[in-house]
Chains A and B, each alone.
Chain A
């Protein structure tokens, strides 16, 4: 049915299931180990729901120390280990296998320390993204990276995927907003990486850990940068007759020297679905819609909106609407942030995440439509236009066995087109299993060998989330 191969399941580990469960119970207590099949099934997939496998067991540690003891124990059993935050990965990053123990980190949900003077907070990694902002918003601060899944996804998942969001155009993605982590290695050793010191002399391992998709260790704590919220922010909507006009407008705004906090793009199919879901007041008679948000003082917001409106003139926007109230702004963002969920109500889809240089936007959008048409599939585009991070949603019908396969081929062609345009396979959703076999499109054998050498040094037995990120062919042989 599908095109993505999984490594063979280790039957010897499956045979040891009872023993492994007993070991976990002795460390965590029976209430924090899930072994009944119907309960394990809740962990069989993530947000890439076309792939499923019921894990051997699920362990729910409540502290770094418990994570350490669980890993030290599992390291001797041959079981694979899949760290899991909220399971919202769109690339199959948290997908288990039958011979793997899922390490669910949701119990690590405490905010440990907030230091407003130095603008940092230390949190456990099971804390949800939005709860960091909730904890500091009373003092006028926020945590900047804002994935649309922020109500559910954990900071641990964000660190693992180097997640982004609509407002990352101005504030950077996860890697630009994390100062340090505490991580447990596969043998149970606890290490501190980075910390509160900025630009400490020495190597920066932190940048390597962020975006490593659970390949190097299990992250249990993070020190994050919190920022002072701007005085005010205001989104505006601009509708255009064509993708070319909207894409050209994005490029012109950026070229003019303004970096808005966000520039989001939706095409006609996406606008229709999001409007029906959120009643945000999006114009329905346009081919492309931009949501542009600016922030600052009242005077500055007015300046920036005037400037952007003037630049946009050249691209003949058919509608321009500036939000007039906080309620209206919230509705505009609700429509955008619930876009994936809203699409999910009308069709099954695979969500691509390629990045291209913003100057290539119009031509790549045309190419994406052509690719999907050639497979007889429809596509909707909703994405972060300011940084060229595309999210084509390739629509298919799960009940038609042929269509998932076609959607995957179309997705692969789209990502190849992104790399050919000078971009990359993924901007924020990570490789997971979904893009694993496409890594050779972006990286040479030497590039991947170097990455795998790093993986092997941290995880010599390839036990941590091993089915992901690196193509199955060309991996180093691992001593049993």
Chain B
């Protein structure tokens, strides 16, 4: 199998035009290689921050720039990516892959998604054309904006060469707290109540039976994060202390990477790890039900995202549970292919999605990444 790593966008366009079928090596390191019979295209040689003035609150970078390099530059100016991709990704990943996967972390329900922060991008389409979409400033209402459609398309529509993100200031203060003994079904309501109080919640997760890197016991525990001005964070702590709950400050490093990557749920032999996206108010209750049926469950995003580990054969039961729930869907995250939950191709809108493929890659040059649940078009 051949791997192309063009050093310029023009070169990338030439490669796309010369190959009737090409796969995208999404993470710059080639870790998510798609189809070994097709040549693959990597952005890893398109590297470097191209424009960054901190007070503009935007950064433009070549797609192959490692996320770690970007986070480092931002941190040196007291800024960060609000949607928290770092905690969601292990090892080497590129900023282009973050965009292609619409990868967000636990801060997602509070600070928006990768897609929300993505302002514009440059890409090579399936026709081999070099196209820019969106803008390089915080607001842009000029023309049809493909930026958000490319985000999350897993390389099946276009090869991203450059991205522009909105950046956010790092808040002055932050605190993680653990509430032991709380049930998962209470998480959405508790989070809602804290936000009603105006407290600066930026993380709300729940773990059951899996521990939290040794900090909490194996019983059910809620993990909350508050970030904001010093006075706002202090007010949050005071409020929690005033409740009749055993509140412990979690100061053992950053637990959110554990939550985001679900490292505590690594599947063993005969097991699989799935993810369920679901409306927040329904998520907590489903988490409890799954636990009753023997799954190890991690709830994140105030109930909006569940990760669960169970025997491979649980796939069918999970699919049946989720299918009738409005706004919910399940997909396989790690495990053998037979644990996959196929996306519903009869979903309304499937024909609409095909139109997008037709407009950007009419000859199907790009082979969709084989992530379970990714758009198959």
Chain A residues near B (Cβ < 8 Å): 115, 117-118, 140, 161-164, 168, 172-173, 175-176, 191-193, 195-208, 210-212, 215-216, 228, 230-231, 251-252, 254-259, 296-297, 299-300, 303-304, 353, 355-359, 387-389, 422-431, 435, 439, 442-444, 446-451, 453-455, 457-458, 469-470
Q: Chain A residues near B139 (CB, 8 Å)?
A: 164, 168, 173, 355, 387-389, 424, 427-428
Q: Chain A residues near B140 (CB, 8 Å)?
A: 355, 424, 426-427
B65 CB–A CB distance under 8 Å: no
What's the count of A-B pairs with C-beta under 8 Å? 247
B377 CB–A CB distance under 8 Å: yes
Q: Chain A residues near B329 (CB, 8 Å)?
A: 197, 200-201
In the assembled complex, the Cα of A455 lies from the Cα of B143 at a distance in Å of 10
Q: Chain B residues near A430 (CB, 8 Å)?
A: 141-142
Q: Which residue of B lies closest to A259 (CB)?
A: B169
Q: Chain B residues near A449 (CB, 8 Å)?
A: 129
Q: Do residues A196 and B196 form an inter-chain contact, with CB atoms below 8 A?
A: no
- For chain B residues 136-180, which have a beta carbon within 8 Å of chain A? 136-149, 151-153, 157, 168-172
- For chain B residues 326-377, which have a beta carbon within 8 Å of chain A? 326-329, 331, 343, 348-349, 352-353, 355-356, 358-360, 373-375, 377
Chain B residues near A (Cβ < 8 Å): 51, 53-58, 78-79, 102, 104, 108-109, 112-113, 115-116, 125, 129-133, 135-149, 151-153, 157, 168-172, 188, 192, 195-196, 198, 228-232, 235, 277-281, 301, 304, 326-329, 331, 343, 348-349, 352-353, 355-356, 358-360, 373-375, 377
In the assembled complex, the Cα of A320 lies from the Cα of B172 at a distance in Å of 25
- Pick from A199, A254, A358 the residue with the most CB of B within 10 Å: A199
* In the complex, the 6 A-B pairs of residues with the closest C-beta atoms, listed nearest first: A207-B148, A257-B169, A427-B139, A357-B56, A196-B327, A255-B55
Q: Do residues B196 and A425 form an inter-chain contact, with CB atoms below 8 A?
A: no
Q: Do residues B343 and A208 form an inter-chain contact, with CB atoms below 8 A?
A: no
Given contacts A201-B374, A447-B131, contact A118 B280 (CB under 8 A): yes
Q: Chain A residues near B144 (CB, 8 Å)?
A: 208, 211-212, 215-216, 451, 454-455, 469
Q: Do residues A230 and B131 form an inter-chain contact, with CB atoms below 8 A?
A: no
In the assembled complex, the Cα of A426 lies from the Cα of B112 at a distance in Å of 23
Q: Chain A residues near B168 (CB, 8 Å)?
A: 259
Q: Do residues B349 and A205 form an inter-chain contact, with CB atoms below 8 A?
A: yes
Nearest Cβ in chain B — how far from A440, in angstroms?
Answer: 11
Nearest Cβ in chain A — how far from B279, in angstroms?
Answer: 5
Q: Which residue of B lies closest to A179 (CB)?
A: B327
Q: Do residues A197 and B198 form an inter-chain contact, with CB atoms below 8 A?
A: no
Q: Do residues B113 and A199 form an inter-chain contact, with CB atoms below 8 A?
A: yes
Q: Do residues B281 and A296 form an inter-chain contact, with CB atoms below 8 A?
A: no
Q: Do residues A204 and B277 form an inter-chain contact, with CB atoms below 8 A?
A: no
Q: Which residue of A lies closest to B104 (CB)?
A: A199
Q: Do residues B136 and A423 form an inter-chain contact, with CB atoms below 8 A?
A: yes
Q: Which of B116, B130, B137, B169 contacts A176 (CB 8 A)?
A: B116
Q: Do residues A355 and B356 form an inter-chain contact, with CB atoms below 8 A?
A: no
Q: Which of A175, A205, A300 contacts B232 (CB 8 A)?
A: A300
Given contacts A193-B349, A257-B170, A388-B137, contact A199 B149 (CB under 8 A): no
In the assembled complex, the Cα of A455 lies from the Cα of B356 at a distance in Å of 11
Q: Chain A residues near B131 (CB, 8 Å)?
A: 444, 446-447, 450
Q: Do residues B343 and A202 form an inter-chain contact, with CB atoms below 8 A?
A: yes
Q: Which residue of B lies closest to A223 (CB)?
A: B327
In the assembled complex, the Cα of A115 lies from the Cα of B281 at a distance in Å of 10
Given contacts A140-B196, A204-B151, contact A161 B141 (CB under 8 A): yes
Q: Do residues B277 and A454 form an inter-chain contact, with CB atoms below 8 A?
A: no
In the assembled complex, the Cα of A435 lies from the Cα of B353 at a distance in Å of 29
